[in-house]
Every structure is written in structure tokens, then in C-alpha cells.
Amino acid sequence: MYEAGIVYRKPLEGDREQLANLILRFYRFNEEFDPAWALAGDADNRALSLADRYIAGEGYTIVADHEGELTGFIHAYVQEYPLLENSKQAVIVELYVKPQYRGRGIATGLLEKLMEAVSSDGISVVTAMFPTANFVAERFYSKRKFRRYLQIYLREV
């Protein structure tokens, strides 16, 4: 199931630049589906800052490492709904695998490792957010038994 030679782990300090690069690639990919995902002028610096936060342990982040090269990553945060039985939900906001590594089960491996991590913390619901037009993400999650749950509407002002 998992690609041979891939190690799934939390990001380390030495992963900063590679992780920031993967974050940028994720957002550039989604920008193709919706112009509302257009990158800020200082996106490079913001990606480094985000990588620092993920390395420091903000939310749940798992990287796929192939002999020192980060081939992909997943990041989720916890959303709380105090009145619901499943009051804590993990929300996947970023999942990216480099094109040359796609089709090898790496994204599935990242997803499964994330689900193990959140489950061990008592979270039993995982959701995923992505642009509506991102048919790649929709197909990926649908095949893994995710279903439509929330709808978010956007209006620029």
C-alpha cells in the first residue's frame, strides 16, 4: 500500500525550506482552480513562517520523506463545535504530493497517518477543505469514503 522507502513523520527543523516549498506548491496548484486562491506578493516569506509554525507543532502536520527529500505533506487543524457529539473535528486544509511521486499511495499514506494521529487524541471526525473546482481533491477524498458535509460560500467585497 505504501510506497517503498517513504517515511511518514512529523516535520523537523531541517525540513523548513522543503516544507515551505511544498506549501507554496499546494497553494499554486489550488490557484489554478479558483482565482480567489491567488498568492500574496510575499508568499515565499509567509510559507516559511507557516512551515515554522507546523514544525513547532501547530495543528497536525505529517511529511512524506524519501531519503531526505520531502515528497509530500498533510496539515490539519482542530475545529471545535461544542454542541455536537463529535465536538472536535480535524480539518485537513493542505495535502500535497509532488507530481513525480503521485499515483504511488503517498497521499493515502499521509491521510492514514493523520487519521491515526487524530484518533489517538480522541478525535473521531476528519473533514477536508479544498476549492470546489478542485476535481482532483474531490475524487481523492470521495474514493476514501469522505462525503459532503459543509458548504462554504465566498463573496469578494
What CATH number is given to the structural domain containing 102? 3.40.630.30
79 belongs to a structural domain:
yes
pTM of the model: 0.93
Contacts with 31 (C-beta within 8 Å, 6 or more apart), sequence order: 37, 38, 39
How many domains does one find in the chain? 1
Instruction: Give the orientation angle of helix 43-55 with respect to helix 16-31, to 10 degrees.
Output: 120
151 located within any domain: no
Domain that holds residue 59: 6-143
Residues 13-63 pLDDT 10s: 999 999 999 999 999 999 999 999 999 999 999 999 999 999 999 999 999
Continuous H helices in the chain: 16-31, 43-55, 106-120, 135-143
What pairing do the DSSP bridges indicate for beta strands 88-97 and 125-128? parallel
- 12 within some domain: yes
Residue 150 covered by a domain: no
pLDDT at position 152 is 84
Which pLDDT tens digit goes with each residue over 125-157? 999 999 999 999 999 999 999 999 988 888 889
pLDDT in tens, 82-93: 999 999 999 999
Q: Is residue 156 part of a domain?
A: no
In a domain, 32, yes or no: yes
